[in-house]
Amino acid sequence: MTRITRRTLLAASALPLGGGLLASRRARAEEAYILGTLFPMAGPNAEYGTIFTAGAAMAIKHVSADKMLSRPLALRAEDSEGTPQGGAVGMNKLVNVDHALYVLVGFTGVSKAAAPIGTRAKVVLVNGGGVGPDLAGLSPYYWNVIPLVPDEIKVLTPFLIARKLRRVALIYVNDPFGNGLYKALKTDLTAAGGEIVAADAISPTDQQFSAIAARIRTTAPDAVYFASYGAQQAQIIKQLRDAGISQPLLTYSGAAIPSVRNLPEAEGLTLTAQAADWTVDDPVTRRFVADWRAQYGSDPTPYHQNYYNAVRLFALLAQQLEKAGKPVNGDTLRAALLATRRFALVGGEGVFDDLGDISMKIVVNTLKGGKLVAVG
């Protein structure tokens, strides 16, 4: 009896998954512009995948509503698992099966594994989430719509000196992003007359931080900077606070996710991020913010903004190419980007440099009641 039930259950669950829809999907794929996403959709960093996708989805809705392009936009998601291997396999599939023209990507490790594949196939990769310093100029077809972390440190350092937070303890993930951040923070802070009194490298899978807290406390810093991703950030904050670390906590834009913002212990957290001034009075920003609030009942985050911008950037470039009667592919998109440079994006005008990297205003924020409040 139990065997029958089990088999029936399985068959029942398999049927709707396996059946149909493939044909209609193919038909649609021929006429649509295919955008790919290569985000972590499962595992400890899956929260980012959810956020990144939401931003892109809103942009697709707007582009379609405005009839900006002659062909519809379609999104194909691949799970990067947040790992290089997942990134390489997923990118291969996006390029060769889905024939994506333009792939949205996050994460430093994933980017580094996927970029060579994109370069070979001349498919543009756009990053709106990873901020590792070595993501700048990874390939001609790899652009950043997010300012990278050295830009954030440049804004933070004067703020720290002004607040007399000269002695900083650092907790950082031991990977290209964390190491790059460590270097940038050390250089800038030392030059400005501050110092790093302790630097603890952690692994992205660590979950216990009370021991680090004890060690940091013995160095009596003025503030504690942590550089991590995803779920781990909230754990660090909570455990540092629980262990009696009452000094200001500092971090970068990666903490602008709900699991951090909704954490009671994160109240007062200082973090640098793109200026998220939702009161900016340009039509693109106004519409994005209004629709976002209507749909989700809360304010968007810079990540939502970046991936919205990434899709909007594609639409603007493709629109330009369509008008000029040119084909839309990696080479023409790149040429159009470098020819135009300035685009009307959410948050104001976005300006790209020769490497295809955006620069945006960065501000220092404090977390108050789950919201980012600019303080400098």
Partner 1 sequence: MLLLQLLVSGIETGALYALTAAGFALIFGATRIFHFAHGATYALAGYAFVLASRLGLAWPLGGLLALAVAVGFGLFLEAAVYRPIQRHHGAFFTVFVAAFGVVIVVQSLIELSFGRAFVAISTPLTRAHEILPGLYIAQVFWVALAIAIVIFALLGSFLARARAGIGLRALSENPDLLRAFGLSARRLSALAFALGSALAVPGAVLGAATTGLSPGVGAHVMLISLAASVVGGIGSLRGAALAGLLLGVVETLVVAFLDTQWSEAAGFVVLFVFILFRPSGLFGAAVAR
Partner 2 sequence: MIAYLLNLAQLAAIFGLLSVSLNILIGYGGIFSVAHAVFFGLGAYAGAHVALDLAPDILLAALAAALTAGVLSALLALPALRVRGEYFVIASLGLQMLATTVFTEASDITGGLGGLVGIPPPTVFGVSLADPLAFLLVCLGFLALALAVVRLLMRASFGRALMALRDSESAAEALGKNVPLLKTLAVLLGGAFAGVAGALFAFQEAFVNVESFTLDQSVLIMAMVIIGGAGTLAGPLLGTVLLLALPAALTFIPGLPPTDIGAVQQLIYGLAMTVLMIFRPAGLAGRLAGRR
CB of residue 323 vs partner 2: minimum separation in angstroms? Answer: 30
CA gap 84, 58 in Å, rounded: 28
Phi, psi of 99 (to 5 degrees): 50, 45
Q: Does 165 bind partner 2 (CB under 8 A)?
A: no
- Which listed residue (185, 263, 276, 333) binds partner 1 by CB under 8 A? 263
Q: Does 40 bind partner 2 (CB under 8 A)?
A: yes
Is there a contact between 255 and 270 (Cβ–Cβ < 8 Å)?
Answer: no
| x/- track of binding to partner 2 for residues 354-373 (CB under 8 A) | --------------------
Please tell me the count of residues contacting partner 2 according to CB under 8 A: 46
CB of 365 to partner 2, least distance (A): 26
Q: Could you say which of 42, 97, 162, 351 contacts partner 1 (CB under 8 A)?
A: 42
Dist CA 77 CA 268 (whole Å): 36
- Give 141: exposed, middle or buried? Use CB within 10 Å, 0-12, 13-18, 19+: buried
Among 38, 59, 106, 112, binds partner 2 (CB under 8 A): 112
Rounded least distance, CB 7 to partner 2, Å:
9
Among 112, 167, 217, 304, binds partner 1 (CB under 8 A): 217
Nearer to partner 1, 43 or 370 (CB): 43
* Residues whose CB is less than 8 angstroms from the CB of residue 273 and which lie 6 or more positions away in sequence, other chains included: 152, 252, 253, 256, 302, 362, 363, 365, 372
Contact assessment for residue 285 and residue 278, using Cβ atoms and an 8 Å cutoff: yes
Smaller CB separation from partner 1, 244 or 325: 244
Amino acid at 351: V
Concatenating the DSSP letter of every residue in 174-243 gives SSHHHHHHHHHHHHHHHHTT-EEEEEEEE-TT----HHHHHHHHHT--SEEEEE--HHHHHHHHHHHHHT
CA 150/CA 131 separation, integer angstroms? 9
Considering only residues 8, 9, 25, 50, which one is a binding residue for partner 1 as defined by CB under 8 A? 50
Q: Report the residue count for the chain.
A: 376
**Residue 13 touching partner 1 (CB under 8 A):** no
Q: Which is nearer to partner 1, 118 or 221 (CB)?
A: 221
Residue 75 contacts partner 1 per CB under 8 A: no
Q: Which does 231 bind (CB under 5 to 8 A by kind): partner 2, partner 1, none?
A: partner 1
Q: Which of residues 186-205 bind partner 2 (CB under 8 A)?
A: 203-204
The candidate with the shortest Cα–Cα distance to 356, out of 177, 105, 145, is 145
Positive or negative CA dihedral for 285, 286, 291, 293? Answer: positive
State the binding partner of 25 from partner 2, partner 1, none, CB within 5 to 8 A by kind.
partner 2
Strands 362-368 vs 371-374: parallel, antiparallel or unpaired = antiparallel
SS (H, E, C) 119-174: HHHCCEEEECCCCCHHHCCCCCCEEECCCCHHHHHHHHHHHHHHCCCCEEEEEEEC
With binding defined as CB under 8 A, does residue 254 bind partner 2? no
Of the candidate spans 72-80, 211-219, 300-308, 358-366, the one that interacts with partner 2 by CB under 8 A turns out to be: 72-80
Nearer to partner 2, 77 or 269 (CB): 77
Q: What are phi and psi of 205, to 5 degrees?
A: -100, 0
Q: What is the CA radius of gyration of the chain?
A: 22
186 binds, among partner 1, partner 2, none (CB under 5 to 8 A by kind): none
To partner 1, the closest distance from the beta carbon of 16 in angstroms equals 16
The answer to whether 126 contacts partner 2 (rule: CB under 8 A) is: no
Question: Does residue 197 touch partner 1 according to CB under 8 A?
Answer: no
- Interacting residues with partner 1 (CB under 8 A): 2, 6, 42-47, 50, 174, 200-203, 205-208, 210-212, 214-215, 217-218, 230-232, 234-235, 238-239, 241-244, 257-259, 263-265
